[in-house]
Amino acid sequence: MKKRIAIFASGSGTNAQNIIRYFKSSPVGEVVLVLSNKRHAKVLERAENEDIKSLYFDKADLYSEKGVLRTLEKTRVDLIVLAGFLLKFPEIILNKYPNKVINIHPALLPAYGGKGMYGKHVHEAVINNGETQSGITIHYVNEAYDEGAIIFQACTDISVEDTPESLAEKIHILEYEHFPQVIEQLITSEENG
């Protein structure tokens, strides 16, 4: 039986769409729900275009036992994927889904993580510090921003010509290439574990 995946995103949703499309042909999992804390986030439109149920929620719903948590339970979600989700994830959901919530971060954690470190803020910090490499980190989510156990990392070189925008493009390539496959490997190893 396929594992049921919910994706949380706050913005455009290109990673979410990539994951949705990948799992349309996967024998082990399927995306059943996309949720966003932004009413007009492009990710909700992308989900609807892919025939995936989408849901907007406000902050109160996220932290309430009767809100988002109840929706996840009713939808029988097995795995939660954060793909550009910017709010701190609530403990009430983490407690119900231990080691079942994962996130992708656009840098090589533990460097360049924590509150306020997302998207262009990360790439600007990496460039300004003269780093020669950056990358992605896929990790479990815990109570602290970007501090959960690391599942997977991939690197890209940074050239002296790179800007935050060109680095973001390199990071997106890594995200699209690796995120769906790592999710699938997690599901498969869990079933065989």
Using alpha carbons, list the distances in angstroms from residue 102 to 50, 85, 138, 150, 177: 22, 11, 7, 10, 17
Active-site residue, from 40, 105, 121, 178: 105
The verdict on whether 172 is a catalytic residue reads: no
Q: Contact 19/83 with Cβ under 8 angstroms?
A: yes
Residues annotated within the binding site for (6R)-10-formyltetrahydrofolate are 103
Distance between CA 155 and CA 158 in Å, rounded?
10
3-class secondary structure per residue, 27-51: CCEEEEEEEECCCCCHHHHHHHHCC
| DSSP letter, residue 193 | -
List binding-site positions: 13-15, 103
Residues with catalytic roles: 105
